[in-house]
Structure 1
Amino acid sequence: MMSGSGVDRDGVYGERPGREAVVGGEQSVSDRPPSGTPSERGPGRRRGRRGRRGERLMVPEAEFTSYYGRPVINAPTWSARDIAGYFFLGGLAGAGSVLAAGAELTGRKAMARALKVSSLAAISGSGALLVHDLGRPARFANMLRVFRPTSPMNMGSWLLTAYAPTAGAAAVLEAAGRLPRIGRAATGGAALLGPAVAAYTAVLIGDTAVPAWHDGHRELPFVFTGSAAVAAAGMALIASPVAENGPAVGAAVFGTALESAASRIMERRLGFVGEPYQQGKSGRLKRAAQGLSAAGTAGALLWGRRNRIAAALSGAALLAASACTRFGVFQAGVASAEDPKYTVVPQRERLRKQAAGDA
């Protein structure tokens, strides 16, 4: 038996009452919209929160979302252990070379030797983690086929290629006690390249489309430089005699102050986009870094020059604080890429301001 309903150019006609799809729960008969053609329903009938006749909500209010709830940009696929570890060890190596050169100039031989060796170990571990994440060593070598000053990744590859042999020569010649002039030249060269090695990874991630990294590109190099100084100070406190710990204490104070100030300025400037730095895993890592750096710096100031055990514990706290900072920045970037609002909302705000300025 055929139904008397159908569809023409004016819409659906002759449908049976109560056949409409229900959104948001059960409806009573009185709440259902009338059946019939559009002309039978009348021109004033609207679907909304409350129509003129007080009908219930049929379509949910629009909420922010993205297509099928998918991220607008692809989140980084890097391994947190490999890349955040690469950030941390690179910072330790670069800042360690600077502190080693200062220790050598001031006659602190034990500290200079320890930091040269630790910088070589750190840059070796950093390179190993990078190659492990790339998958094959040939991929790192392929980045050296061109020289492109506009590419932070390409320039970083060349920077590591220049720094690693220089730091290696400084450490090996110091340990062997051979060729002191060449060793001093290598120490100076590593110290000149060290700040760039400590901070270039911040430039690298700031050049991506990840909101928490890209929008923080102004302050992230200072955050990474301060974190690197904290790590180098921690290593010096662990490996040096207490009589030589003066520069390490100063580096701890400087690094903690720089990292803390740059982080606060960045998060205040980022506003809404800076939320990932304060929430979730990144927020926990950030708070841990703040606590560890404060404890390590206080311990270094109070006992770092008098008590060997206290100096070592303070150094360990500073190293852990630097690692937490690097892993926290990495996790904040991943979180901001996975949530589409951190990409779309700032875009809409920029477009609104541009339209207002044009008007």
Structure 2
Amino acid sequence: MSAPEHRTAAGTPRTRRRGKGRGERLMVPEAEFTSYYGRPIIKPPVWKVPDVPAYLYLGGLAGVSAPLAALADLTGRPGLRRVGRVAAAGGATLSVGFLVHDLGRPERFLHMLRVLKVTSPLSVGSWILAPFGALSGATAVAEVLGVTPRLARASGLAAGALGPALTTYTAVLVADTAVPAWHEGFRELPFVFAGSAMASGGGAGLLARGDVTPARRVAVAGAVLELAATSVLERRIGFAAKAYRSGRAGAVLTGARVGTVVGALGALASGFVRGRPGRVLGAAAGLLLNAASAATRYGIFEAGMASARDPEYTVRPQRERLEARRAEDHPAGSDR
């Protein structure tokens, strides 16, 4: 006796076998994840490229550069202090510029400062970014002009205190949405963003002259944290991890991981090479780490947008949660 068979949508018979001599008849066609009129189930964010990915990257760079500059000021590393202060001010200024361009009109950013809403990541982030930008800008001007060193130290320390919050609030901002790839990773994204920021800020510090030991340590530690947190994220979030591994986002993030690893190894090796070759190696590693950090932010952004456009990322996790809940309510072998 032949195994049971079923017909495809075209009417042709097809047999699915299980084991030896056994088959299974499909009564309905396999599900296709579609939505009404082919539209996404959720509305994708209207954020633009390169504005938002650049905003995410530059904020992280600035948020780590300011504490590094403050540390360098307190420990007598003028080269690292100068580069850190300039990087913090430049990153914050450009970050605000990209944000304002994405908003469309400058007054929209000012409107966000009228009220501090603690339940809104964007409102809290605006209140972090605005004073940080002012403090880091004043510190950088004093550094470049060589004036008011005491005031520069005070403003630099204040900017450094705000820096850590600046590195991670954007992760909370994107995770606090309905976008599946971002929302499912709400636990790990702050660590991914913090590690990426440390790699870029420490990498910028490697461009300085003199002793850059703190920057090297921060860069390597950040690279390790980013890679570890990304690995945990992709293992934990289930089907949503496909958005980070496939398509344009997958290709970009793969390249970013390679760049992060190579950059971290180069930064580590530069500490064992004396003189000009060591400085050149450290500078090259720092630039590579920054390129990888920017690619990481873009890859995460693109993964979220891809998951918002595809209904499967919304429907499948809902079905899996429903089936898991049913399994808990009616364990195998129990009376229904």
Give the TM-score, by structure 1 length: 0.81
Describe how 1:104-143 pairs up with structure 2 within 5 A: 104-143=73-112
Indicate whether 1:260 and 2:227 are aligned. yes
Deviation at 1:176, TM superposition (A): 2.2
Q: 2:218 aligns with which of 223, 236, 251?
A: 251
1:17-74 superposed Cα distances (whole Å, 9 cap, x missing partner): xxxxxx95589xxxxxxxxxxxxxxxxxxxxx9xxxxxxx998554332223321111
- Secondary structure class of the residue paired with 2:206: helix
Q: What CA distance in whole angstroms lies between the structure 1 residues aligned with 2:29 and 2:147?
A: 77
Counterparts of 1:79 and 1:104 in 2: how far apart (Å)? 37
Deviations 1:311-331 (A, max 9, x none): 221111111111111111101
Question: How many residues in Structure 1 have an aligned counterpart in Structure 2?
Answer: 309
| Structure 2 Cα separation of the partners of residues 303 and 205 of structure 1 | 35
Amino acid at match of 2:103: L
Q: Which amino acid aligns with 1:190?
A: A
Query: Per-residue displacement from partner, 1:289-338 (whole Å, max 9, x unpaired)?
Result: 11111111111221255322222211111111111111111011011111
Q: Structure 1, unaligned stretches of length 5 or more?
A: 1-22, 28-48, 50-56
| AA at the equivalent of 2:234 | E
How far is the alpha carbon of 1:145 from its aligned partner? 1.9
Q: What SS does the corresponding residue of 1:347 show, helix, strand or coil?
A: helix
Contact 2:60 2:200 in 1 (8 A): yes
**Which residue identity is paired with 2:43?**
N
Letter matched to residue 162 of structure 1 = P
C-alpha distance in structure 1 between counterparts of 2:221 and 2:9, whole Å: 58
Residue of structure 1 aligned with 2:281, choices 297, 310, 314 = 310
1:296 is matched with: 263
CA-CA distance at 1:181 after TM superposition: 2.0
Q: Distance in 1 between matches of 2:165 and 2:11?
A: 64
Q: In the alignment, what sits opposite 2:199? A: 230
Q: Deviations over 1:100-156 (max 9, x none)?
A: 111112211111011101111111111000000100011111112222101101111
Residue number in structure 2 paired with 1:69: 38
2:318 maps to 1:351: no
Residue 354 of structure 1 and its aligned partner are, at CA, apart by 2.9
Instruction: Report what 1:9 is aligned to.
Output: none
- Higher alpha-carbon Rg: 1
Q: Distance in 1 between matches of 2:148 and 2:242?
A: 53
| Residues 80, 330 of structure 1: 8 Å contact kept | no
| Cα deviations by residue, 1:243-293 (Å, 9 ceiling, x for unpaired) | 312112101110011001111111110021111111111111111111111
Q: Label 1:61 to 1:295 Cα distance change in 2 as closer, same or farther (>3 A).
A: closer
Select the residue among 282, 285, 295 that pairs with 1:324. 295
Aligned equivalent of 2:23? none
Whole-angstrom distance in 2 between the partners of 1:204 and 1:24: 44
Q: 1:285 is matched with which residue?
A: 252
Give matches, 1:19-30, under 5 Å. none
- With normalisation by structure 2, the TM-score equals 0.86
Aligned-partner Cα distance in 1 for 2:95–2:302:
19
- C-alpha contact 2:202 2:218 (8 A) present in aligned 1: yes
Q: Report the CA distance between 1:179 and its aligned residue.
A: 2.1
Is 1:214 equivalent to 2:183 in the alignment? yes
Task: Return the letter of the residue paired with 2:258.
Answer: G
Mapped to 1, the partners of 2:137 and 2:38 lie a distance apart of 49
RMSD of Structure 2 on Structure 1 (CA) = 2.2
